[in-house]
A and B are shown apart, each in its own frame.
Chain A
Amino acid sequence: MASGDTLYTWTPYANEPPSSNYATLDTRNLHPCLDFDATTNEYAIFSGVMPQHYAGTTGVTVYIHYAMSSATADTVDWDAEFERIGDQQLDVDGDSFAAANSVDNTTVPGTSGLVDVVSIAFTDGADMDSVAAGELFRLRISRDASNDDAAGDAELFAVEIRET
């Protein structure tokens, strides 16, 4: 697979929310979105099987499509973490996400409702919890509300993974 080709896309209805501090399902003009709070770090989790055409060499880049509910200035921070479930790799009774990678201090669109796209790169291997082609995995997305400064909710509309 070539660099830049899509490996996966998820929209809000694919979210498998954690038991607490979950992003809240909402709609905006009938577009489904997940609301991430401005003061509490909240999470959305998406699962999938890494496509067989993932080359496993250059890693992946996660693209986050978001808008702000009300903020028209200041910045937002996003984190992403991979969890390899694999073939007898992880007892799913517990979570095992690798360390988060981030895209920080992104100035939000000047118009609330404009969807911005930000990206977070992961190198192949431990950075993405060593997820390999054909393996079940989860991707956890969170807004780092503790450290960003834009007011109000951030709305997640879609997540895409591309081969880096």
Chain B
Amino acid sequence: MLDVKDLHAYYGASHVVQGISFNIDQGEAVALVGRNGVGKTSTLKSLIGLETRVQGSIALQGTTLVGKPAHVRANRGLGYVPEERAVFPQMSVEENIRIGALLHPGKNQHGVLDRAYELFPILKERRLQLAGTLSGGQQKMLALARGIALQPKLLMVDEPTEGLMPANVELIANALLSAAQGGLTVLVVDSSFDLLRVLCSRMYAMDRGVLIGTYRPSDFSSPDELAATLLGEGRH
């Protein structure tokens, strides 16, 4: 489904992604894990086309994406849910969901809305509310619901559970899990053991801009073990 070869990304003078290669199969849910600042978000931004200086090869179902602007990549089937600034604050919840669906005026707009509301019924209750007035957790739900409801070929989700209450983490994890079980291919950046354990078949570990290994969630018996091995926590 997705083949990434020798991907490099630069942020100013920093070489933030240093030649990583990986692949994701159709219907697979894969995670990119590592400490803060090791290049995970930059990798996702490079794939969707929001990083300006990128080299390497990115192919989605055989179609090369490098050099194409973000909107073209989205139209080729790449979905992206960023960690921050994921919603349009002065637009209603419903408008936020419809923005991407409007690309295909012939398609059933209500189908997209229904799918999003089915994932998070609270969004239906608040469909006329401005997205900027939702709580942080609800904004994450909105961004994720929109990403899933648009039915991309591959959905990239950046830190969907970061900063959320445990109850919301469970809601987000369930939504992602049900989408993945429905056949959606997912690339997620997150450090929640509970999410990774139920969702992912593989995890690519990243450190200082390079991939340092591939793991399975079953390789770890506890959140602490995962954190110590992949996130560098507890090491002195």
Partners in one complex: no
